[in-house]
Amino acid sequence: MQRLMTGSLAYTEFEELFSEKVNLVFVLNTMALAKCLDDAGMYRNVLFGFGSLLNNIEKLSLYRISILESFHEEHEEIISAFQVTFNSESENIKYIEFAIENIPDYLKREELKDSYIRKCMYALAAQPTPKSIESLKKMSSSDNEIIKKYAVHQLEKKV
């Protein structure tokens, strides 16, 4: 995995080495091992390396599980995937709302938090309506000024 992520192993070679072994159970167990080892780099490599060998439904499940986890530092990439790739299921809304309400420590500096919340609101707005509009309306009355600002902005664009 490390060789693939550093570019010293071609993706086609990687697929040949692991294609028969990689399934959702293998990936979940390897992610759990990364957490036990307190190895966020390994977690990232498993999520995006082995995760890329799964089908979209399995990958979506991994992303939903991972957005709930504060152990790693891949939240922005996962949120971007909810905006661009996984934007056809209103079920994603509760995961994005969780991400907004539970910002990991590494993203709590003001400039990082602002950027992250903005990305979350883009992802929220990309989900199917009318549920995304309902969620944005709820967020627009937040006590948090950053959340409120970006929710209102997305509502203005949607309606």
Instruction: Kindly state whether residues 80 and 125 are assigned to the same domain.
Output: yes
pLDDT at residue 18 tops 80: no
pLDDT of residue 11: 72
Helix axes 24-36, 56-67, angle to 10 degrees: 20
Q: Which domain holds residue 14?
A: 1-54
Are 22 and 81 within one domain? no
> Do 34 and 105 belong together in one domain?
no
47, 82: one domain: no
Q: What is the pLDDT of residue 75?
A: 97
Please check the confidence at residue 91 and state whether its pLDDT lies above 80.
Answer: yes
pLDDT of residue 149: 97
The predicted model gives 68-88 an average pLDDT of 96
In a domain, 61, yes or no: no
Residue 61 has pLDDT above 70, yes or no: yes
